[in-house]
Structure 1
Amino acid sequence: MNKPVTGPARVRRLDATLANQIAAGEVVERPASILKELLENSLDAQATRITIQLQGGGMDLLSVEDNGTGMLPEDLPLALERHATSKVSCWEDLQAIQTMGFRGEALPAIASVARMEILSRTHDAGQGARLQVHGGDVLASEPAARAPGTTVQVADLFYNVPARRKFLRSAAAELTRIQKVLRQIALANFPIAFELLQNRRSLVQYPAAADAEARSARVASILGEGFLANALYLEQSDQIMSLRGWLGLPTYNRARGDEQYFFVNGRPVRDPVLTHALRAAYQDVLFQDRHPLFVLYLDIPAGQVDVNVHPAKAEVRFRDSRAVHDFLFHTLRRIIAEQGGDKPQISVPVQPAMRPLGLTADHSGAAGGIRPTSGPSSGYVPSFQQDLSGVAEARTAAYWEQMVAAGTSRSVENDVGQSPQEQSLAPEYPLGQAVAQIHARFIVAQNQEGMILVDQHAAHERILYEKMKKDCQLDDKQQFVIPEYVHVTAAQMACFEDQQEALRAAGLDISVAGPGTLAIHGALRSLDARNFAQLVAELLDMEKPWGQGDVEGHPVLAEMACRAAIKTSRRLNLDEMNSLLRQLEATPRFGQCNHGRPTVVQFSLADLDRLFLRGR
């Protein structure tokens, strides 16, 4: 059936209420988005105390009360008109926005889909004023008593737009979203006190935090004491930008990225530039698909960032995004690398269940038991017994080279005039002195604080990876006098042809020697693989994550380091274990392997005492 032919639709001006309801579709999504807009108005009004009251998860009632500057009676009706604001007045103001709000759309949009009441009074006025608006229509405007500040009540959200009301979730779900918004605002505004009540019952209180201790207490109340104990506080700046906040250690992570807070000039934002820089900084040290925790604040001149790019002001655009990205990436990556400097930043495991240890195990020294190795286990000297580089590590290397050259595990006392216990507690050895190996898998060492367990494979993997990255930068390769050949399948040959640039970038000099055969001509000098053919074959059997690495990511090197590292079943003597510990101390990001698993775990003496109920 054909539609009748009609003339062109006439252009007409929308009714003000309809225009506000259209705007509400972008600004007013749910009670949490209303709370965000009202809190931003309170912040711009220089409030120092803000109280939020809810009923029905904010759907029945949402009230925000502050002690800010307030509004004049004649300004209340004007505040409900679209694009009426006290935040900006000219084009120059828009280019360097320093307030949380600026568009003048939130209040009229909210008023068009709810029953709103505004009660406000300035500090120098004798009385305040009340304005009642239902669905965008002003019902009453009258004098009212109130202390200086402003109260905005929003009731019966979407009462006149029932289709929008149906999309809201349960009161509990909406309350969860509201609490998330409050946490963001509270983390960005430490000097301000916040309180959240539902049905007149206090749910959350954040006292004003004026000093560093109070700020840390607020962070702990939001992210937990565990985060504060596993985070590094940082303050870094360059000529135009500064970064501060709490950076969670890679070993303290979550399955979801829901505890990540980033603020630009005090505004919580989501930005692909920031996300990419953060992900790249953690790339080599985070386990698989885990997510780090952090609370970071980037301060940048207002003219260098555009916040007028998203209806909810949740995204920003930087004038020089590359400079911001590089500053964040290099700053965070350096801090993550240095967190294992002179003291291992390693987490204490959860205390295991208390139960007596049975004596039924075989203690004869057979494979699988605790073995305090006192002599060489074989003639093979693993690849981690190499010279250490750098001034700080030269003293350590010289000592261990003497021990390795001796060919036996001589006593520490005979070498340097110290008893084994004194040597193990030396402050220049944060990982201490090896005393035993467990199940040919873990190294047991003692340091000044207590006992350390080291995953030998993960530790050697990190050492190799960092050395290989350095060799790649210096193009330090070893060329084989006689090439090593590897026979490959058709699928492996196709993978090589597709990924040979990535393999070459990883220091592997490989060519096609014939049908189904590859020739390996050279590799990185730090790669001491016993069977390069097997290593290359295994690389070509991977599911090819190559090329997906972020900035300065080396997925091929990481896989090569993993496959070349000492295996879990490898028995080590004390010389080998201590050499591994010394090199691990000199390795950046040594707290995690290339896949983000912990390499070392610390048990303090207090932890050990608790395990055995000592002092009770």
Structure 2
Amino acid sequence: MQKIRLLDAKTINKIAAGEVVESPKSVVKELTENAIDANAGSVTIEIKEGGISYIRITDNGTGIPKEQVKEAFLRHATSKMSQIEDLEHIFTLGFRGEALASIAAVAQVEMLTKTRDEETGTRIVIHAGEIQELEDAACREGTSITVRNLFYNVPARRKFLKKPATESGYVSDLVNKIALGHPEVAIHYINNGNTVLHTAGNNDPKTAVFYVYGKDAANSMLPISYRKGEYAVSGLIGKPEFCRANRNYENLFINGRFIKNPVVSAAVEDAYKTKLLIGKFPVFVLNLAVEPAQVDVNVHPAKLEVRFKNDDEVYEFFYNAVAKALQETVLIPKAVLEKKPKERLPQAEQQTLADMPKESILKESILKESEPKAEPTANPSKEIPLPQSQGVILSKEEREKLLRAAEKPQTPTSGGRSVDELLKRTPKAESFAQTAVPYRREELKPKEEQPIELKPIVSDEKTEEVKPTEEKQPFFQNYKIIGQVFRTYWIVEQGDCLYLIDQHAAHERVLYEEFMNKFKEERVASQRLLTPLMLQLTPMETEVLRRNLALLESFGFELEEFGEKYALRATPYLLQNPTEVGFFTDILDRLTEERISNVYDTKILAVATMACKAAVKGHDVLSTREAEELIHRLLGLEHPFTCPHGRPTIIELTKYEMEKMFKRIQN
């Protein structure tokens, strides 16, 4: 057996750095959070070569007093707590006091810092954990830390870093999240000398979304503010049509700290169920304010995970908050009319345009009526794309005027303007790609001779009396049915808007709501197994079963305990079919991560399929009376704007947009 020995300080610091400093992204995160904790109103983040060779974080915060500069680089030296009880009252982003020591142990660090009361600042240089220089220096109030040659003294760690472009992407993603979580701080991000992001710092979450995700994203976000008990959430959630194919745009902050939590993600995604297309995830920026005693933040070295005292309360809180915000909003998407992409010019015609006078090309490109061009970059070029038509010769006055307009910068500035002004005045910014997903409907033979009988829609007065949302004020109050196009879409006029209603999607939503309400109101029948099935469960699964035994029995499962094991005696009879035994293990697996209130919650896709098959199809002939009844019942539902598969039931086309298409207005 080898002799136990105490490691030296350098080795200890390098090992500790491996937990805190994984990559340039970790360095940027720790130093930026320190700047925010120092009450900085502006933070500049600059990196080169993905942050491997150069990182500089500059802030205008409170700074560090001269006598404490050396102590700041010692392990577990912190100003944010003094005893263990302080962990229950931590509102700062950092608290362990390991960041500066860990970074200085594996890089070359230089720091300039000055407080408001000091006449001169302090400069300190540390290489591999050893102080090289410590002197007075002239500097502004705040702190500037430069980190060079990360892992230069730990080659084994350095070789595991990704390519500079990849590391740069990680840093960019982190800076975006910091900007979204702290709209009160002006974030200036520079990558290889180019400004990538510069937020206003005006404490407006929507403005932060505008700068990070673009104009289209900001226009597609809904404000949310909800408080219950010890929890309060605020922020923005995306409209259902504004969704992504992964969870990268789910941004959750707890007391300003970005975290990942499966309970919250599941709650928000469940609130969006039947409103999003299958395989899509919501976009949100949510900040939860809660007493620190309710959250354990000291469970992850990088502070990316937390533990709640009561997961069930948190799930219910977020689910109700998001569901309420969606329910109170009219979620009718607007019609998006896009032109087909222009074909590439033949080589001969390109050469002809190349020989044209620049003034002709300039005037033609500005006067030509077309869709907005591509997004402006941080350094907009003065070159204007060549049009596809012949130009017109300019006069001297016109040429000077148009050239001045072309030279004028078009990038948004951060002068504290609100997002509404930015959205009106700024050209289309970099944003999410909102690609329309085509819906492939089963082609049916038209039934022009005889209208179909629509029994589920044309109902008697008794059926009308049991509508669950009779008291809800419908969005459509003075509408008029104009007619139908393509034997599928009904045209409805109200006010200054024209609405297209898909008869299949609308009827599908109506039937889905009816089926779900009926199933939830009825007691689930069970079918006993001929031979009880002994369940082979892990200790964790057994604990989940015990905690949810009453819930599983209400679902229609019958269980019998044999010591530490359980036997399954009966399974529920759902949708006119007995469930398979494997359905029980599926339910048990989902209960470990999700909250299920009704057994039919696990059969949403099956119920949606039933509604789809029973609903009228495109090309089916409906009378005006049947269409009126369908629209009336659709608009009386709690969630009328999408079918259960997430496809829109109603599309809006405003009078303003139509007048733009007919060139009645030019703006």
The answer, yes or no, to whether TM exceeds 0.5 is yes
Equivalent of 1:455 in 498, 502, 523: 502
CA distance in 1, matches of 2:585, 2:111: 57
Displacement of 1:283 in angstroms is 1.9
Matches within 5 A, 1:151-300: 151-210=144-203, 214-300=204-290
Displacement of 1:505 in angstroms is 8.9
Displacement of 1:455 in angstroms is 1.8
Q: Is the 8 A contact 2:295 2:307 kept in 1?
A: yes
Q: Is the 8 A contact 1:368 1:439 kept in 2?
A: no
Give SS of 1:196's match: strand
CA distance in 1, matches of 2:99, 2:293: 24
CA distance in 2, matches of 1:201, 1:353: 33
Query: Aligned residue pairs: how many?
Result: 510
Normalising by structure 1, what TM-score? Answer: 0.76
CA distance in 2, matches of 1:615, 1:297: 41
Displacement of 1:550 in angstroms is 5.8
Displacement of 1:231 in angstroms is 2.3
Matches within 5 A, 1:540-579: 547=587, 551-552=596-597, 553=601, 554-555=603-604, 556-579=606-629
Matches within 5 A, 1:29-428: 29-210=22-203, 214-340=204-330, 344-353=331-340, 377-378=450-451, 380-386=453-459, 387-389=463-465
Displacement of 1:389 in angstroms is 4.6
Q: 1:157 to 1:396 in 2, by over 3 A?
A: closer
How much identity, in percent, do the aligned residues show? 32
CA distance in 2, matches of 1:378, 1:296: 49
CA distance in 1, matches of 2:477, 2:161: 55
Q: Is the 8 A contact 1:70 1:150 kept in 2?
A: yes
CA distance in 2, matches of 1:611, 1:354: 18
Displacement of 1:568 in angstroms is 2.6
Displacement of 1:17 in angstroms is 1.5
Q: Is the 8 A contact 2:197 2:211 kept in 1?
A: no
CA distance in 2, matches of 1:32, 1:396: 49
Give SS of 1:74's match: helix
Aligned AA (2:254): V
Give SS of 1:167's match: coil
CA distance in 2, matches of 1:354, 1:129: 58
CA distance in 2, matches of 1:538, 1:447: 47
* Partner of residue 369, structure 2: none
CA distance in 1, matches of 2:153, 2:3: 27
Q: Is the 8 A contact 1:230 1:347 kept in 2?
A: no
CA distance in 1, matches of 2:296, 2:253: 14
CA distance in 2, matches of 1:434, 1:392: 25
Give SS of 2:169's match: helix
Aligned AA (2:155): P
CA distance in 2, matches of 1:16, 1:431: 77
Q: 1:437 to 1:66 in 2, by over 3 A?
A: same
Displacement of 1:224 in angstroms is 2.2
Write the deviation string for residues 257-279 of structure 1: whole angstroms up to 9, x where unpaired. Answer: 22221111111110121112112
CA distance in 2, matches of 1:325, 1:101: 26
327-336 or 80-89: bigger deviation? 327-336
Write the deviation string for residues 563-597 of structure 1: whole angstroms up to 9, x where unpaired. Answer: 22222342111111111111111112211111111
* Partner of residue 359, structure 1: none
* Partner of residue 362, structure 2: none
CA distance in 2, matches of 1:199, 1:615: 44
* Partner of residue 491, structure 1: none
Equivalent of 2:654 in 580, 604, 608: 604
Displacement of 1:394 in angstroms is 6.2
Displacement of 1:190 in angstroms is 1.8
Displacement of 1:229 in angstroms is 2.2
Q: Is the 8 A contact 1:85 1:103 kept in 2?
A: yes
Aligned AA (1:459): A
Q: Is the 8 A contact 2:205 2:236 kept in 1?
A: no
* Partner of residue 421, structure 1: none
CA distance in 1, matches of 2:188, 2:341: 41
Aligned AA (1:601): I
CA distance in 1, matches of 2:578, 2:654: 40
* Partner of residue 580, structure 1: 630
Aligned AA (2:281): H
CA distance in 1, matches of 2:621, 2:85: 70
221-230 or 345-354: bigger deviation? 345-354
Query: What is the Cα-based RMSD across aligned positions, in Å?
Result: 3.4
Q: 1:299 to 1:312 in 2, by over 3 A?
A: same
Q: 1:252 to 1:134 in 2, by over 3 A?
A: same
Write the deviation string for residues 75-109 of structure 1: whole angstroms up to 9, x where unpaired. Answer: 12211111111111011101221111111111111
Unaligned runs of at least 5 residues, structure 2: 343-443, 526-550, 557-572
Aligned AA (2:517): K
Aligned AA (1:446): E
CA distance in 2, matches of 1:262, 1:453: 36
Q: 1:321 to 1:176 in 2, by over 3 A?
A: same
